[in-house]
Structure formats: C-alpha cells, structure tokens
Amino acid sequence: MKHWDYRLRLLHLGAVYLGSFLFLAWGLFWRQILQTQRYKDQEKQQSQRRILQPGPRGHIYDRNGQLLVGNRPGFSVVLYLGELRQELRQEYLKKVREARQARQAGGQTHLNRDSLRADARAAVVQRYLEHLEGILGRKLSLDKPALLRHFAQKLLLPFPLARDLSDQEYVRLWDALPIDSPMQLHGEAFRYYPFGCAAAHVLGNVGPAEATIDAFADKKLTTFSFKTQTGRSGLELVFDASLQGKNGGSIWQVDPSGFQYRCLESVIPQKGQDLHITIDIELQRVAEAALGARRGAVVLLDIATGEVLVMASKPDYDLNAFVPTLSVEAFRAISENEAWMNRALQGLYPPGSPFKLITAMAALKAGVITPETRFDCDRFYKVGNRLYPEHDKLALGSVDLKEALSMSSNVYCYQVGLQVGPEALAKEAAFWHLNSPTGIELPFEPQQRSVPDPQWKLEKRHERWYPGDTANMAIGQGFLLTTPLRMACFAAALGSGNPGFQPTLLKKESTNALQSSTLPASGAHGLKPSDYQALLAGMRQAATQGTGRLIAIHGSDICVKTGTAQIANNTLTLAWLIGFYYATHTTHATQESLPTVALCVLVEGADPNDGYAGSTTAAPIGRTVLRAYQKAKEKGGKD
C-alpha cells in the first residue's frame, strides 16, 4: 500500500514538473517566436531614428514660360550636437564641481542637475556662437529656450546658429570652417520670386511646416524633420499638393544617449511638379504700374479661352519678404497698408454704372423698351419725396438706349428700372451670374454676392422694399455688391454672348473656347440680335465720344461702360470701367465679331478729395493696359 502511495506521489510530482516545463516552453515559444516582430519593432523604435529631408517645391511659370516662382539655395551655419558629446560632458562635470563647491561654501544641500545640464549645454553652444561672430563680424544671440527644446525634441538635427547667409558670409565661412568642425554650412531651398511684388496675391506665399513621412514604409520610428515650406495663400496654397516635393531622408542607428552613429537607409528627395499659369507677367506689370499707389484692381481676360491674362491688386507686397520667414516689421507694414486682401478677387463693391447694362437688358427682354425708346432726362428725377440726380447733375434732354449708355444717364435708368421692377433686375443679374462666385482656382473667394430684391431685403434687413431702392439698384447702387473679377467675367460674357463664361488661371489649349469666331445670330444672351447690337453700339460710342473716351486707341474697336459708385456713406468714390477689345476694327455697329479680351478696372477712393471717376481715373488705366496688349500682339508675342 505504501509502495502505491509512493508511486502516486511520484506521478503527481512528474505531472507538476511536466506542466511547468510545458508552460515555460510555451512561454519561450510565445516570446521568441510569436512575439519576434513585436520585439524587433520595439528594438527599432528604441535604437533607430528617422531624419526627413523635404523635396524642393515645383516652379510656377507664366503663359510665355517666364519663371514667376522658383527656388534659390539658402545657406545657414548649423551646429551638429552629436559631435559635442565630450565637450558637453566635460562642461557638465565642471558645472557640477562648481555647484558642489558653492554648496559647501553656502551650506546648500541640493544640486539641481537638470539646471546644471541645461547651463552646460548653453555654455558650450555659446562658445561656438562667439567663434562664429568673430568670423562673420556681426553680433549673434543664443536663444537658450530654443536650444533646450532642440535638445529635447530634435537632437538628431543640427542646431541653426545663423540662417540665410549673404554671399560674402558664405565665402568667408567656407574658408574659415575646418572640415571636421561640428559647426558647418547647411544648404536648403528657399522660395524665390524674381518679380517681387508682381502678381503677389495670385501667386501667394509659403510658410514653414513639418515634412510628412511619405518616403519610408515604416511610419512608427521617432522622426526628426527639417522644415519644409507649405502654401499659405494664392496658387501656392491651392496647388500645394502638386507643387510640394516628395520628401526624402535617412534612418540612423543611435546610441543610448540618442546621438546617431550609423546610417541604415537613405532616400533622395524629389522636386515637385511645375505649374504653368495663364498670367502674362509683362502685362501684369504694366497694369500694376498703371494703378501705381492707388488702391484698386485690374483684370484682363482672354474671351475665347477664359484665361486670366492680368489680375492686379494694389496695394501689394514683396513675396521675397516671406523668405525664410516674415519679420514682425514686414507683417505690420503689410497690415497697416491693408495689402493682404486681393481686391480683384475678394473686394466687394457696388458695381455702379456698369450695372446699367443689366438694367437695359432686363427692360429689353421684358419688352418695356426698345433701342429707340426715348426718355426725358432732366438734372433730377423725383421718386417719392426724394430727388435722384442725373449723371454729373447735367440735363441730357431726350435720350435713347445708345445715348443713355454712352453718356451714362442715371435718369434714363431710373425710369427704366422702375418700369421693369426689382425682381426683373435681380433675375437678369442672376442670369449673368452676378450672384455667384466665379470658381476660379484661388482661395478665399467670397461665396456670396449681394443681388437684392424685395424678398432679400425683408429677410436680411427686415424692411420693406421702396421705389427708391429700385432706382438705386437700376444704376448699380444700394445693396448691390460684387467683385472686380466677377465684373470682368460679366464683360467677357457680354462680349462673347456666353453668360456661363468661366475664368481660369491654368494654361490650357482651350478652357471654354467658343466654337466660332463670330457670334451666333441669336446668342445665348437671350436678346434679339438688333437689341444686342444696340447695346454694343452704346458701349462703342461710350469709348469714342462718351464717358469712356479716354480709353480710345486710334484704329481700335473698344466697347466700354464706365461708372462712379459711392461708398462709405457717399463720402468716397469708386471708379469703374468694364469693356472688351476687338482684335480687328469693326466699322459698323451691325458687324458681328468676337472680341478678344475683356477688361475690368476698379480704383478705390481712400479720401473724399480723391475725386476718382470711371471716365477720368479708370479709363486711362484701361487704355494703358489695352495698348500694352495691342503692342504685344503686334510684335507677334506668345499668347
């Protein structure tokens, strides 16, 4: 009996040993076989670091291949902290000894080792900074908090001591720095704008950003990145994804202190895609020079393709001021000058007298008038108990449509607008898309326009509509608001007979090209051919004898409508001009041909004494731009 008890106990003990062995074997199998990849990943994360090197951004060219935005090499002096390990340790031990001596002398009992380590790091870097000052001959300062953040967050990246060196400084350092010095020259690509301020709002600016991990399969490694540039406005923002280069970099083995010592993998960064746009930089500069120091905008459109040849906005700023970063002083100057806004795209203004074309077309379509209908136009027209003035407060007598457009008669449009009604005016404005954004490839375009009617006023202002509101609307005042770009598109749409005209900044063979070089007998504008030609005749006469005659170019055929709108409680004025230019002169108003370019000029009053007017301010600017376009075509220049 005892013998069997003994054997049973041995069996139990063997089972325990066997179970323990199997448990340990399974644990070993689990850890060493099944969890192999996990521990390899942990080992990699602990011993490897990734350094990202951004790829250069793509270039931007104008329609003729001129470089508008490129990259230039920029050089900085940087300090490779990994090369300073011995110096840092010696300086730290020195600080510790000094602190201990001071503690013994002063009776202190505690050493703040983190503070001593920070002081040691700053002292070592300061010595190199002073050496650099001696080479460059200029004062430099150490940002100690930035240095400590760099040690904590970007240890594998070199610490910058001086950025964007001049050519002379670069040459001096090239000769002075030993090849084995921890202080070295570092190259990077900076954005470069050869034309400075030209087309600044269209091109846009860039700002610093962190590079993305798109060059390596392993996304989990601790990553350090050199600064890249990302679009902040304009085309740089809209096409940032394609302009942005493909990032490269390297993966390094690091020691327990976090300093790299062996490169494991390297990927070369790649340049981003180039962008070819429709702007003609020479015409753009002409338009900006014509605006001068005045606030305003100029837009020139190719009617056949929708391409934007000119989009000028003043005041502007030098895009090179953003490289490598925008200074506080430069930011303040741009803000004080109110230069951030792209007035061509974002400026919302009452359209003034160019809206009279909408009033005339609404009345013609409604059958309220014909081109031959005449109205007596005195110095004022009474609506309710208020007198509404004629243009320049001059009595024009009996005028028809052609004369009313040529002389920009307010009284004619008051009477026409009151007969056709505000709903018809709003409907006609919407037909020409004045109530919607253009959809051009630029950011921050206002998504709503103000094309009012009685229902709009009731909902937005909680007020009823009065006849005086209709009178104001008929001449482009009151609650109407639109942008210079939209008015340029309206001019192009009217000249082409295509209300769906779509502008673009991307160079293409044909964006919304018309199928024919001549207008159809009854265009998409919805007017009778005779009514449409009467409208053009009034605009043509305005450019030769009427309010827009200062735009006239000998031997050229131009149709325009000028305007002078009031803003800021009628204390300031806006000078407007819209129109289109024919490449071949047409001698008869009935001749149907397609104009080549459409134009909009806006000059914004900044002082009650400016005295701006469409006829005297905007028209000469328009003439300068059209004359430059004409000369370029005569020379056989590229489109």
Return d(Cα 284, Cα 305) in angstroms, integer. 18
Same domain (yes/no): 241, 292: no
More confident residue, 447 or 602: 602
- Least Cα distance to 191 among 240, 241, 229 occurs for 229
Whole-number pLDDT of residue 256: 64
Average pLDDT, the chain: 87
Give the helix/strand (H/E) hosting 365.
helix 356-366
Least confident of 41-45, 114-118, 322-326, 624-628: 41-45
What backbone torsions phi and psi does residue 515 show, to the nearest 5 degrees?
-80, -15
Q: Is the pLDDT of residue 213 over 70?
A: no
Does the N-terminal peptide bond of residue 324 adopt cis geometry, omega within 30 degrees of 0? yes
- Of 224, 258, 276, the one marking the end of a domain is 276
Whole-number pLDDT of residue 585: 55
pTM, two decimal places: 0.85
Which residue range(s) make up the domain with 550? 281-316+343-634
Share of the chain above pLDDT 70, in %: 86
Q: What is the pLDDT of residues 324-367, one digit of tens each?
A: 888 899 999 999 999 999 999 999 999 999 999 999 999 999 99
Return d(Cα 327, Cα 491) in angstroms, integer. 40
What backbone torsions phi and psi does residue 218 show, to the nearest 5 degrees?
-85, 115
Going by the DSSP 8-state scheme, the letter that residue 105 receives in this structure is H
Residues contacting residue 281 through CB under 8 Å, at least 6 positions apart: 62, 64, 66, 68, 195, 198, 199
Same domain (yes/no): 263, 362: no
The answer to whether residue 639 sits within a structural domain is no
- Of 276, 296, 328, the one marking the end of a domain is 276
What type of residue is 35? Answer: Q
Whole-number pLDDT of residue 26: 72
Q: Is the pLDDT of residue 383 over 90?
A: yes
Distances (CA, A) of 606 to 370, 530, 565, 628: 40, 41, 13, 28
Burial of 402 (0-12, 13-18, 19+ CB in 10 A): buried
Same domain (yes/no): 259, 304: no
DSSP 136-184: HTS-----HHHHHHHHHH-TTSPEEEE-S--HHHHHHHHHHS-TT-SEE
Q: Is the pLDDT of residue 248 over 90?
A: no
Q: Is the pLDDT of residue 119 over 70?
A: yes
Same domain (yes/no): 476, 564: yes
Same domain (yes/no): 243, 368: no
Q: What is the pLDDT of residues 301-316, one digit of tens each?
A: 999 999 999 999 999 9
Same domain (yes/no): 271, 310: no
Residues contacting residue 293 through CB under 8 Å, at least 6 positions apart: 314, 315
Whole-number pLDDT of residue 528: 93
Return d(Cα 444, Cα 448) in angstroms, integer. 12
Q: Is the pLDDT of residue 64 over 70?
A: yes
Q: What is the pLDDT of residues 553-612, one digit of tens each?
A: 988 999 999 999 988 787 889 999 999 999 865 444 444 578 999 999 999 998 888 889
More confident residue, 36 or 50: 50
Residues contacting residue 512 through CB under 8 Å, at least 6 positions apart: 305, 306, 498, 500, 501, 502
Whole-number pLDDT of residue 247: 81
pLDDT band at 499 (very low <50, low <70, confident <90, very high): very high
Same domain (yes/no): 244, 308: no
> Can you tell me the mean pLDDT for 172-183?
86
Whole-number pLDDT of residue 83: 82
Mode of pairing for the β-strands spanning 67-79 and 295-302: unpaired
564-568-573 Cα angle (round to 5): 20
Q: Is the pLDDT of residue 10 over 90?
A: no
Whole-number pLDDT of residue 225: 67
Residue with tokens 């793509």: 58
